[in-house]
Amino acid sequence: MRLSRVAGAATALVLNTVVPAIGSAAENPPRTLITENSWTLTAPTAGAPSARVELNPSSGTLTLSAFRGVQTVLAPAALGLRTTQADLTRGLSPLGRSDRTVLEWYTMTTGKRRVRSAVMTETRLAFANASGARLDLLVRISADGVAYRYEVPDPTGVTVTSEASAFSVPANSTAWLLPYNAQYEQARIETTAGAAPPRDYGYPSLFKVGDNFVLLTESDVDGRYAGSRLVHEGSGSYQVVLADAQVHSSGALRTPWRTAIIGDLATVTESTLVDDLASPARFTDTSWIRPGKSAWSWLSENSSPGDFERQKAYVDFAARNGWSYVLVDEGWSSTWVPELTRYARAKGVDILLWFHWTRLDTPQERDSWLPLVQSWGVKGVKVDFMESDSQSRYQWYDAVLERTAQLRLMINFHGSTIPHGLARTWPHVMTMEAVRGAENWPSPNTNPVQVFTRNVVGSMDYTPVTFEATHRETSIAHEVALSVAYESGWQHLADKPEVYERHPQALRFLNQVPTAWDETRFVAGNPSNEAVIARRKGERWFVGAIAAGEPRTVSAPLRFLGAGLWLVEVVRDDAGEQRTDVLRDRRIMSPFNTLSVNVRRHGGFAAIICRYIPGRQTCDEPIRQIPPSELTVTPTGPVEVESGSFVEVSGTFTAPASTWIRDVKFGVRPPVGWSSQGEELTRSFMAPGESLQGRWTVRLDPGSGNSGLGDIDLPIAAEFRLPGDATGTPRVHVEQAVRTFVLPPAPTGSPYVSDLPFLSETNGYGPVERDRSNGEAASGDGNPLTMGGVTYARGLGTHAPSEVSIYLGRNCQSFTADIGLDDETTQTGSVTFKVLGDGGVLYDSGVIRSKGPARSISVGVSGVRMLSLQVTDGGDGKNFDHADWANARLSCDES
């Protein structure tokens, strides 16, 4: 796919107010000479905030303040930045001013509103210091806020050392602040702007100033700059501090937007200003991007992502309930994920895979892993543990986003920074974490505030709706309501299938909830203890109401509905004390009514609302079910293949017995490095039970560098649509594979195992390391292999449970190694080493429970085709199980 800088679906119209010009950068609109020292900037929208920029004539320093009506919401606070070449915070003189109106229309794939429009006035104020160093200040004003950024038009490059940027909030303003860490997972605190402890705080930060609210954050941050945070310096002053000591731009500098969303609580909650300020979409075709609900097992049963059969159970559950995805988290294996993907796609479910970011931190790793999982049919990835706002980490974000977009893989950033408009620029970003979500067992008291802070700025991967997986302080109805109150393009629902099925009315509601919205409305609530949000998809409205604290009545005025009568189906807790399934009530109401529900302690309610038609009993829509079809392929057993050789494959596809199907495509899908002969078969319609047969010749292309070694699947697939499928509904994909074995060269002489290709590899944490200890999660981060104080230059560093397979081709006689627990861990693990030949155990060390001198082993491998080196935990879990195969070596024939 070709990536472009501007999306065809987005339109930006810029109206320039032209004034007499002085000398300026060619790309900037003409500007007029400045003679004043204060500039009041406004927006054309009634009720919009305004800003004032002031230049102190004696010190040459700049400040910015913001107002809503007659109230000052941000007092004058410093502007400017410092570079290695110049101090652009003082001694400034005005050069010129230009103004324009920016009108933008664009569409989103996720978020609180699909179709967006923005009207912003933009003023550029140019300044220079006594040495002639130039600083341009750009200020934008919209109906929902004020934002500014700096530009330094130096084509030779700029290195920023700090910003003077700050925000000054009245000290008595109520504040909801996030103590900063790089993954944004602390619990928010409620205090005042002045009384907040002096420390670092993360975005977004919310303040109540009189009758107004101010949400401070940043927008349009990428690898051109670093992220920042707020440092409370006393009183109501909050200084912007960069994540890096220096930020470098190779050409002219443009900083992110320092952003203040300003207005009443509805304005702040519904704001799209962060996206409005972001860079336009980098590509135009978003037809492959699909928000949806995902079944996710890691939180409720931590080891299950490593269990193929258990993941199939999650697929079956998702298929029964019309959920789009199953997310397979840490622990999945490449030995079975392709088969799981085939199993899921035949049922209308797609697979998402978890990655530690360090598995994708180099171009080589991205070019290895991402095309591979895409070839399996995986539709997206969850990437975790970035935990940095540095410029280098943002450059990594840029690189992985570009590569996943090229491969049409959607993405979720977990352990990440907050959204900065990223989902506008890269529409395949489905969600980001940056919240103290369900996996951290947050207090129910912190749930409402997320609606008014973190979730304002973009999709939030909270992993909600846990009935039994985590603490049980919130009510069942509160948890159900989170699926609406919290917006996320991928909503990873975090409990077990069996738990949801024990709550059939709750599950019925979850099956109906969309994850992408046409409209979002603030209904009622406050950041401290209550939030009621309404979201619309098509003709249906969904309401999510969550409360923290003691039992009460929560009310939702229905003014957001259109005229007429509406069917309102309310999902609520029963009146008892037990955590039982929710109840469902039907009411006929109008926009003049208020929906009031008595809620439990830490309770809530949810609702589905649709137009009332006489006789209509429910707002539920049918759940798409995929009828079973059949696909058989030949040959059925593994076929050995060498470079340049051909394989004859065939398949028979039989349509579902229960229905006609349409738009059928049937053919072989050769992987990268392979080519095929024979046409794809197509049919406009197939009758129930009708069969289609095809035959193809597949070739492993000589010299292909991407063909891989060992077990390679040659997929044969049928795709079709069901009779009632709407336009844009993905085809059903039914696939089976002919298994081949691409022969690597058999080892000769006395090679070290670390020099040989691994035909398969699994590891308990991070990758298996060659000639280093396991270390941490990143490739190459281990230490020298060390056991009992002795260092070994060669070998494998692993972490139980692990297994490495090496092809011997029956050409070797013995395997030798020095085995044991590596010295690098702070505590001692326990492991068992096993050597397997063609599946049979050739050596078993028994449980090794202490670090110390290595144990030398010699194992006969005569006649062995495939050697596997396996480490299992000692029965007490995998913590500290760093196991070394030092000096791992083979003795083989010379030819």
pTM of the model: 0.90
Bridge partners, 631 (sequence order) = 653
For the chain, helix, strand, coil in percent to 5 are 15, 40, 45
Beta-strand ranges (E) seen in 478-558 are: 490-493, 519-526, 530-537, 540-547, 552-557
SS3 390: coil
DSSP string, 555-573: EEE-TTS-SS-EEEEEEE-
Query: Residue 753 gets which letter from DSSP?
Result: G
| Residue 34: per-residue pLDDT | 66
Catalytic residue among 163, 220, 222, 384: 384
Site of tokens 């203890």? 529
Residues in the chain predicted with pLDDT less than 70, given as ranges, are: 1-35, 703-707
Separation CA 440–CA 830 (nearest Å)? 28
SS (H, E, C) 134-154: EEEEEEEEECCEEEEEEEECC
The CATH homologous superfamily of the domain defined by 753-892: NPCBM/NEW2 domain (2.60.120.1060)
| Residue 95: per-residue pLDDT | 96
Domain residue ranges of the chain, discontinuous segments joined by +: 11-277, 292-517, 630-742, 753-892
| Residue 4: per-residue pLDDT | 33
SS3 368: helix
Separation CA 829–CA 849 (nearest Å)? 6
Please give the CATH number for the structural domain made up of 292-517: 3.20.20.70
Separation CA 303–CA 331 (nearest Å)? 7
Contacts of 193 (CB under 8 A, 6+ apart): 169, 170, 171, 172, 173, 174, 175, 207, 235, 236, 238
| Residue 761: per-residue pLDDT | 87
The answer to whether 711 is a known catalytic residue is no
| Residue 8: per-residue pLDDT | 36
Q: Which two tokens stand for residue 644?
A: 């340049």
| Residue 574: per-residue pLDDT | 93
Give me the half-sphere count of Cα atoms (radius 13 Å) on the Cβ side of residue 640: 6
| Residue 36: per-residue pLDDT | 84
Catalytic residue among 307, 439, 461, 803: 439
Q: Indicate the pairing of strand 200-209 with strand 228-234.
A: antiparallel
Give me the half-sphere count of Cα atoms (radius 13 Å) on the Cβ side of residue 864: 27
| Residue 31: per-residue pLDDT | 56
Closest CA relative to residue 217, chosen from 245, 160, 177: 177
| Structure-derived torsion over alpha carbons of residues 493, 494, 497, 499, reported in degrees to the nearest 10 | -110
Separation CA 135–CA 150 (nearest Å)? 7
Closest CA relative to residue 62, chosen from 136, 133, 120: 136
Separation CA 162–CA 78 (nearest Å)? 13
Separation CA 861–CA 835 (nearest Å)? 10
Query: Residue 755 gets which letter from DSSP?
Result: G
Q: Indicate the pairing of strand 732-742 with strand 639-641.
A: parallel
Instruction: Name which CATH class applies to 630-742.
Output: mainly beta
Which run of H or E residues covers position 484?
helix 476-485
Query: Residue 486 gets which letter from DSSP?
Result: S
Amino acid letter for position 296:
W
Residue-wise burial string across 373-388, b where 16 or more C-beta atoms lie within 10 A, e elsewhere: bbbbbbbbbbbbebeb
Q: Which two tokens stand for residue 471?
A: 């603490």
- pLDDT tens readout for residues 759-787: 888 888 888 999 999 998 778 889 999 99
Which run of H or E residues covers position 583?
strand 583-589
Q: Indicate the pairing of strand 681-686 with strand 93-107.
A: unpaired
| Residue 399: per-residue pLDDT | 98
Sign of CA dihedral 109, 113, 115, 119: negative
| Structure-derived torsion over alpha carbons of residues 789, 791, 795, 801, reported in degrees to the nearest 10 | 30
The answer to whether 222 is a known catalytic residue is no
SS (H, E, C) 622-656: CCCCCCCCEEEEECCCCEEECCCCEEEEEEEEECC
Separation CA 394–CA 426 (nearest Å)? 14
CA distances from 216 to 185, 257, 275, 448, 520 (A): 18, 11, 14, 18, 21
- CATH of 11-277, picked from 3.20.20.60, 3.30.56.10, 2.70.98.10, 1.10.10.10, is 2.70.98.10
Separation CA 581–CA 500 (nearest Å)? 9
The distance in angstroms from the start CA to the end CA of the chain is 45
Q: Indicate the pairing of strand 646-654 with strand 691-700.
A: antiparallel
Residue pair 354/330 in contact (Cβ under 8 Å)? The answer is yes
Instruction: Count other Cβ atoms within 10 Å, centred on residue 613.
Output: 8
| Residue 661: per-residue pLDDT | 97
SS3 421: coil
